[in-house]
Amino acid sequence: MSIDKKELIAKIAQRIQKEPDAIEEILDATLAEIYESLKQGESVSLKNFGTFYIRPEGETSVFKFNPSQRLRKLFGWASTYRGEL
């Protein structure tokens, strides 16, 4: 099962009681900033979610994602997270 962009926007809008158009604008801007940061070789860390980064490998680069301890715990992976899920 997967959630597409439209469904994600609707869920966020409902959660924070904002208009879907505003949420879409914020989501698009967020993704654009993540993209631009990665393009510049910078990593992007989102608390309780994880870190996106690019690692050079020879003549190319590899996109990587390092999940947070909380996300690791959710999936039953080795984690030091002790809080509520």
Of the candidates 15, 13, 81, 77, the one whose C-alpha atom is nearest the C-alpha of residue 48 is 81
With tokens 């990665």, the residue in question is: 38
pLDDT reported for residue 21 = 98
Rounded Cα distance between 56 and 43, Å, is: 13
pLDDT reported for residue 72 = 95
| pLDDT (tens place) for every residue of the chain, 85 residues total | 899 999 999 999 999 999 999 999 999 999 999 999 999 999 999 999 999 999 989 999 999 999 999 999 999 999 999 988 8
- Supply the pTM of this predicted model: 0.82
